A and B are shown apart, each in its own frame.
Chain A
């Protein structure tokens, strides 16, 4: 069986964006550079450009997420595409229609692009392998696997504030085990040449052999944050108490929550990022979230430009 990552075609041209893993540096940089131009567009009076006029983009969300869906919707609309939002979590799937049935039906409505979110790892790959070659798929989060546009907007933000990836120490803090964001961040950071990526978490929130992804493991914030330039916080989900990964929010916050005191252990010019939505008082203290080292709101703004860049690059790449 051919087991090629379907996001690149035989000539190495990006057809789908499914994961940051295995993406060449040139493609990552092309996306970041193109996003720079789109930041210019989003700062104008008229924030819309006609690039994707006549294209139909389907937001196919099998797992509800108003925030992520909205940023993709805004990005698509600013590119003048027609956007169709489908919250499949509550419609077809419960009636016994399979994932690929749904995709086939929408493809028949002349979809040009699918933005897919699904609770199962690999769902976006499955769809990308299934659709006709002229349809592009963007993974907006699949299970614990990948969330490439989030990681790309994080890279964009880091480049904005730190310019160069080659002299940075980056720490990813929190629930790495269940996080698609963390996995995508790790691949993007290591590909872009960040020399030291650390993960900081209790053992119950780290996947086995995570060091094979090219990261250093820390269980102690005081040690892990030393000399860090960029702190990437992860959202902690409530069900981690029920699944016996953690005893309580309180204990987690005490040992792994980012407070101004803990932040002071990192470099003085370190920036703090969070993919949102934040749990204040659980993984991050308000004093940090709203503090001067926080770049959480710029992340949101850059998220739109990055998604515009991904959509326009994909739409322009023919099979």
Chain B
């Protein structure tokens, strides 16, 4: 299959390209940019006039809910949602049931995903067995099975001794460790930011110090062990300052933020909107501003969707009993664009946050369009605004605080390995 994408505005952050250039694809790879190779005869021509052609997006957190939680979503539904969102590679957290702590489970997931021929799935291996925080997993075996990085999910940091050993062990093999900074004892049963809104609504809280204390531990252990650490989902202004300082020290630390936290604050909980129940909690307006600025300044490296499809029943509960999380893989581009446009950033810098930067963090050869690289790309209309409605979302989870909002960025085509895996005529 040879594809000629013509007249598109090619935006490739890694190669610092933002010009109208044609892209030529053959045998799953980009074979030329600008002018066609001599013997190129396209089987298919895609006219990308007035559209942006860019590397497929790399999302650092997409939950497929497999194995074990298929009532919330299925591999098929969420893989479809991912490519509908222009996402061609993503990492999936190990918080499945059972957790991704055995090579067999990882192989099965990779195999099932591969059969669907859609986005590239990169499972995050569990850092500890059963995510219990007690015993190390077989990281090297898991790596052979396809786990590129290792982590603990929301708020389940092991005790400091186990954490240090896990980091040391991961460092042995040069694996990076992904951690979400949240001190569990300070979290207790908290469901909202410890601020004005929780005080008003009488919701149990997660204080900012739950994040900063955990961050401080993680940073000191990173220094101690020399492991590469990725901080998942920073949520507070104080947290950003600590990460910034650690980076200035030269520690190998990266971090990401979610599409929700750069647009929303505790105020959006309104009258107990359970779609705003997420971890880390939506924090104050000040924190949100700091996150937006941290991303702008580069302290925060990447934006992820932290996609968490939740079935309706689990959200139709009082706020504190509702299941946390928001779907978002289809909102990754729109909400990143919205942030970038509000910050007056050029397209190339906006897209870096969801292409090359996260690909670097994940350590995979994705997120750019060079001659010879895999033809994972996305074609979208930056001027197209669409309304977030349950029927406009392919994910099985319709849980997002952005329901009803108009957002920019309409995906027209998504290609993975040179195949059109998503196409939408206008």
Contact = CB atoms under 8 A, between A and B. Distances in A.
A187 to B, nearest CB: 9
Interface in A104-125: 118, 120-123, 125
Contact of B317 (A3, A5, A98): A98
B318 A100 contact: no
B201 A207 contact: no
A122 B318 contact: yes
A121 B319 CA distance: 7
Interface stretch (B124-132, B191-199, B358-366): B191-199
Q: Taking chain A's interface residues, is the majority helix, strand, or loop, or is none over half, making it mixed?
A: loop
B38 interface: no
B1 to A, nearest CB: 43
A183 interface: yes
B215 to A, nearest CB: 20
Interface in A1-17: 1-6
A98 B205 contact: no
A191 B21 CA distance: 63
B196 to A, nearest CB: 5
A118 B321 CA distance: 12
Contacts of A4: 271
B273 A1 contact: yes
Given A5-B271, A144-B202, A122 B319 contact: yes
B98 interface: no
B318 A99 contact: yes
Contacts, number: 82
A145 B319 CA distance: 11
Interface stretch (A164-172, A208-216, A228-236, A282-290): A208-216
Interface residues of A, number: 31
- Which 5 residue pairs are nearest across A and B when measured between Cβ atoms? A144-B202, A122-B272, A120-B318, A3-B270, A145-B202
17 contacts: A1-B273, A1-B401, A1-B403, A4-B271, A21-B200, A98-B313, A121-B201, A121-B202, A122-B319, A122-B320, A125-B271, A143-B318, A180-B202, A208-B198, A212-B196, A212-B199, A213-B200
A73 interface: no
Interface residues of B, number: 27
Nearest to A2: B404
Given A1-B404, A3-B270, A208 B318 contact: no
A142 interface: yes
Given A126-B316, A142-B318, A208-B195, A121 B203 contact: yes
A207 B198 contact: yes
B318 A209 contact: no
Contact of A209 (B199, B273, B401): B199
A124 B205 CA distance: 20
Among B201, B204, B270, B318, the one with the most A-chain Cβ atoms within 10 Å of its Cβ is B318
A142 B272 CA distance: 12
A122 B276 CA distance: 13
A100 B272 CA distance: 15
A142 B270 CA distance: 16
Given A144-B202, A208-B205, A212-B196, 11 more contacts: A1-B275, A6-B271, A98-B316, A99-B317, A120-B318, A122-B320, A126-B316, A143-B320, A146-B202, A208-B207, A209-B196
Contacts of B319: 120-122
Contacts of B202: 121, 142-146, 180, 183
Contacts of A99: 317-318
Nearest to A122: B272
A61 to B, nearest CB: 15
B321 A120 contact: yes
B199 A213 contact: yes
B388 to A, nearest CB: 10
Nearest to A178: B202
B317 A209 contact: no
Among A1, A122, A142, A180, the one with the most B-chain Cβ atoms within 10 Å of its Cβ is A122
Nearest to B188: A243
Contacts of B203: 121-122, 143-145
A200 B271 CA distance: 27
A30 to B, nearest CB: 22
A100 to B, nearest CB: 6
Given A1-B404, A3-B271, A126-B272, A121 B199 contact: no
A183 B318 contact: no
A130 B198 CA distance: 23
Contact of B194 (A126, A143, A180, A208): A208
B320 A208 contact: no
Contacts of B273: 1, 3
A123 B320 CA distance: 9
A100 B199 contact: no
A302 B410 CA distance: 60
Contacts of A118: 318
A210 B205 CA distance: 14
Contacts of B321: 120
Among A3, A5, A145, A210, the one with the most B-chain Cβ atoms within 10 Å of its Cβ is A3
B196 A120 contact: no
A207 B271 CA distance: 18
B378 to A, nearest CB: 28
A178 to B, nearest CB: 8
A207 B204 CA distance: 10
